[in-house]
Amino acid sequence: MNTQQIQEFRDNPIKKRQQGDVLIREVDCSTAGMKKVEGNVVASSSNPHTISGGILYRDEESQALFAVVDKKAKMMHREHKPVALPAGTHFIEPKVEIDFLSDMVRPVQD
């Protein structure tokens, strides 16, 4: 998977969900050749976002995270309502903030 494909996922507003600081986009791509991620944490902070009912994969080249859902799944976080995910492949993207004074990009933390 290359950075152009990842940018196309980010630019597509269709089939997008959000839970706090994590965006979830339904995408049409294969996870063949990606590394299966152990566990169910999709974004780690003091209160992690987790998924139940899906399998996580990470693309080695782009470090992008995907969830493959066979029937249905839920994204959960203790400070947010659960987000239902239908069957399919989902691009998981934690949001980032840009500090222009220090020229740093860092993950947004709930």
**Ranges of each domain in the chain:** 3-96
pLDDT reported for residue 35: 95
User: Of 10-19, 26-35, 52-61, 66-75, which range is least confident?
Assistant: 10-19
SS3 16: strand
For the chain, the C-alpha Rg in angstroms (whole number) is 14
> What amino acid occupies position 12?
N
Which residue has better confidence, 59 or 12?
Answer: 59
Grade residue 17 by pLDDT with cuts at 50, 70 and 90: confident
pLDDT reported for residue 94: 75
Question: Smallest Cα–Cα separation from 28: which of 38, 41, 46, 15?
Answer: 15
* Residue 91 · residue 66 · CB < 8 Å: yes
